[in-house]
A and B are shown apart, each in its own frame.
Chain A
Amino acid sequence: MASEEMEQLVRREYKQGFVTDIESDTVPPGLDESVIAFISQKKEEPQWMLEWRLEAYRRWLEMTPPSWAHLEYPPIDYQAISYYSAPKKPEDRPQSLDEVDPKLLETYEKLGIPLHERAALAGVAVDAVFDSVSVTTTFKEKLHEAGVIFCSISEAIREYPELVRQYLGTVVPQSDNYFAALNSAVFTDGSFVYVPEGVTCPMELSTYFRINAANTGQFERTLIVCDKKAQVSYLEGCTAPQRDENQLHAAVVELVALEDAYIKYSTVQNWYPGDEDGKGGIYNFVTKRGDCRGDRSRISWTQVETGSAITWKYPSCLLRGKESIGEFYSVAVTNGRQQADTGTKMIHIGENTRSTIVAKGIAAGRSDQAYRGLVKIGPRAKGARNYTQCDSLLIGDQCGAHTFPYQEIGNSSATVEHEATTSKIADDQLFYCRARGIDEEDAVSMIVNGFCKDVFQELPMEFAVEAEALLNVTLEGSVG
Chain B
Amino acid sequence: MSAPERFLERLTARRAEDPSWVAARRQAGAARFEALGFPTRRDEEWKYTDVRRIAEGDFALATDPGYDASRFEAQRLDLDAHRLVLVDGVFSAELSTLGQLPAGVSVEPLSQALTRNHEAVGGALGRLAGVDFSPFTALNTAFAEEGAIIRLAPGTVVDKPIYVALLSRAGGQPVMSHPRILIEAGGRSEATVIEHYAGEPEAANFTNVVTEVLLDRGAIVNHYKLQEASLGDLHVASIHVDQGRDSRFNSFNLSLGGALVRNDLVTDLNAEGAEAAYNGLFFVQGRQHVDNHTLVNHNAPRTFSNENYKGVLDDRAHGVFNGKVFVKKDAQQIEAYQNNANLLLSDRAEIDTKPELVIYADDVKCSHGATTGQLDEEAVYALRARGIDEAMARALLTLAFAGEVMEQVKLSAIAERVERAVAGRLPERFNLSDLVETAEAVQEP
Known: A409-B350, A412-B349, A423-B366. A400 touches B360 (CB 8 A): yes
- Which among A408, A411, A419, A422 is the interface contact of B344 at CB below 8 angstroms? A411
Q: Which residues of the other chain, A, contact B346 by a CB distance below 8 angstroms?
A: 412
Residue pair A413, B371 in contact (C-beta under 8 Å): no
Known: A409-B344, A415-B373. A424 touches B367 (CB 8 A): no
Residue pair A405, B370 in contact (C-beta under 8 Å): yes
Q: Which residues of the other chain, B, contact A392 by a CB distance below 8 angstroms?
A: 357, 359
Interface size class of B (residues with CB under 8 A): 35 or more
Q: Which residues of the other chain, A, contact B374 by a CB distance below 8 angstroms?
A: 412-413, 415
Residue pair B359, A422 in contact (C-beta under 8 Å): yes
CB 8 Å contact bits of B335-374 with A (1 = contact, 0 = none): 0000000101111111111111111111111111111111
Chain A residue at minimal CB-CB distance from B375: A412
Q: Which residues of the other chain, A, contact B348 by a CB distance below 8 angstroms?
A: 379, 410
Q: Which residues of the other chain, B, contact A409 by a CB distance below 8 angstroms?
A: 342, 344, 350-353, 372
The complex places the Cα of A408 from the Cα of B352 at a distance, in Å, of 4
Residue pair B362, A407 in contact (C-beta under 8 Å): no
The complex places the Cα of A405 from the Cα of B348 at a distance, in Å, of 22
Question: Is B332 an interface residue when CB atoms closer than 8 A count as contact?
Answer: yes
Question: Is B444 an interface residue when CB atoms closer than 8 A count as contact?
Answer: no
Residue pair B352, A416 in contact (C-beta under 8 Å): no
Question: Is B78 an interface residue when CB atoms closer than 8 A count as contact?
Answer: no
Known: A421-B367, A424-B363. A397 touches B332 (CB 8 A): yes
Q: Which residues of the other chain, B, contact A445 by a CB distance below 8 angstroms?
A: none
The complex places the Cα of A399 from the Cα of B359 at a distance, in Å, of 8
Residue pair B366, A407 in contact (C-beta under 8 Å): no
Question: Is A394 an interface residue when CB atoms closer than 8 A count as contact?
Answer: yes
Q: Which residues of the other chain, A, contact B373 by a CB distance below 8 angstroms?
A: 414-417
Q: Which residues of the other chain, A, contact B48 by a CB distance below 8 angstroms?
A: 408
Q: Which residues of the other chain, B, contact A395 by a CB distance below 8 angstroms?
A: 362
Question: Is B9 an interface residue when CB atoms closer than 8 A count as contact?
Answer: no
Most buried by B among A394, A410, A421, A422: A422
Question: Is A344 an interface residue when CB atoms closer than 8 A count as contact?
Answer: no
CB proximity to A under 8 Å, residues B299-356: 329-330, 332, 342, 344-356
The complex places the Cα of A402 from the Cα of B360 at a distance, in Å, of 8
Residue pair B352, A407 in contact (C-beta under 8 Å): yes
Residue pair A412, B357 in contact (C-beta under 8 Å): no
The complex places the Cα of A417 from the Cα of B371 at a distance, in Å, of 4
Q: Which residues of the other chain, B, contact A406 by a CB distance below 8 angstroms?
A: 352-354
Residue pair A379, B347 in contact (C-beta under 8 Å): yes
Known: A407-B351, A409-B352, A412-B347. A418 touches B371 (CB 8 A): yes
Chain A residue at minimal CB-CB distance from B342: A409
Question: Is A68 an interface residue when CB atoms closer than 8 A count as contact?
Answer: yes
The complex places the Cα of A394 from the Cα of B334 at a distance, in Å, of 14
Residue pair B369, A418 in contact (C-beta under 8 Å): yes
Question: Is B44 an interface residue when CB atoms closer than 8 A count as contact?
Answer: yes
- Which among A404, A407, A424 is the interface contact of B370 at CB below 8 angstroms? A407
Known: A379-B347, A379-B348. A68 touches B359 (CB 8 A): no
Residue pair A400, B344 in contact (C-beta under 8 Å): no
Question: Is A401 an interface residue when CB atoms closer than 8 A count as contact?
Answer: yes
Chain B residue at minimal CB-CB distance from A382: B347
The complex places the Cα of A159 from the Cα of B159 at a distance, in Å, of 85
CB proximity to A under 8 Å, residues B43-57: 44, 48
Q: Which residues of the other chain, A, contact B367 by a CB distance below 8 angstroms?
A: 419-422
The complex places the Cα of A418 from the Cα of B355 at a distance, in Å, of 9
Q: Which residues of the other chain, A, contact B353 by a CB distance below 8 angstroms?
A: 406-407, 409
Residue pair B366, A421 in contact (C-beta under 8 Å): yes
Taking chain A's interface residues, is the majority helix, strand, or loop, or is none over half, making it mixed?
strand
Residue pair A407, B354 in contact (C-beta under 8 Å): yes
Chain B residue at minimal CB-CB distance from A395: B362
Residue pair A412, B345 in contact (C-beta under 8 Å): yes
Residue pair A397, B330 in contact (C-beta under 8 Å): yes
The complex places the Cα of A401 from the Cα of B349 at a distance, in Å, of 33
Separation in Å of the B369 CB from the closest CB of chain A?
Answer: 5
Known: A392-B359, A404-B354, A409-B344. A416 touches B371 (CB 8 A): yes
Question: Is A403 an interface residue when CB atoms closer than 8 A count as contact?
Answer: yes
Q: Which residues of the other chain, B, contact A408 by a CB distance below 8 angstroms?
A: 48, 350-352
CB proximity to B under 8 Å, residues A416-472: 416-424
Chain B residue at minimal CB-CB distance from A396: B362
Q: Which residues of the other chain, A, contact B332 by a CB distance below 8 angstroms?
A: 397
Residue pair B355, A405 in contact (C-beta under 8 Å): yes
Residue pair B355, A412 in contact (C-beta under 8 Å): no
Q: Which residues of the other chain, A, contact B371 by a CB distance below 8 angstroms?
A: 415-418
Residue pair A413, B347 in contact (C-beta under 8 Å): yes
The complex places the Cα of A396 from the Cα of B359 at a distance, in Å, of 12
Residue pair B372, A407 in contact (C-beta under 8 Å): yes
- Which among B44, B360, B366, B370 is the interface contact of A68 at CB below 8 angstroms? B44
Residue pair B347, A420 in contact (C-beta under 8 Å): no
The complex places the Cα of A44 from the Cα of B360 at a distance, in Å, of 51
The complex places the Cα of A418 from the Cα of B348 at a distance, in Å, of 22
Chain A residue at minimal CB-CB distance from B321: A407
Separation in Å of the B307 CB from the closest CB of chain A?
Answer: 13
Separation in Å of the A224 CB from the closest CB of chain B?
Answer: 31
Residue pair A422, B355 in contact (C-beta under 8 Å): no
Chain B residue at minimal CB-CB distance from A410: B350
Residue pair B355, A420 in contact (C-beta under 8 Å): yes
Known: A394-B359, A401-B357, A408-B352. A420 touches B368 (CB 8 A): yes
Separation in Å of the A4 CB from the closest CB of chain B?
Answer: 16
The complex places the Cα of A379 from the Cα of B332 at a distance, in Å, of 43
Chain B residue at minimal CB-CB distance from A391: B367
Chain B residue at minimal CB-CB distance from A385: B373
The complex places the Cα of A397 from the Cα of B330 at a distance, in Å, of 7
Q: Which residues of the other chain, B, contact A421 by a CB distance below 8 angstroms?
A: 366-367
Separation in Å of the A331 CB from the closest CB of chain B?
Answer: 18
The complex places the Cα of A412 from the Cα of B363 at a distance, in Å, of 39
The complex places the Cα of A395 from the Cα of B359 at a distance, in Å, of 12
Chain A residue at minimal CB-CB distance from B330: A397
Chain A residue at minimal CB-CB distance from B331: A397
Separation in Å of the A308 CB from the closest CB of chain B?
Answer: 21
Chain A residue at minimal CB-CB distance from B346: A412
Identify the 4 closest CB pairs spanning chains A and B, nearest first: A412-B344, A394-B362, A415-B373, A403-B357
Q: List 5 A-B contacts (CB under 8 A).
A: A400-B358, A415-B371, A417-B371, A418-B370, A422-B364
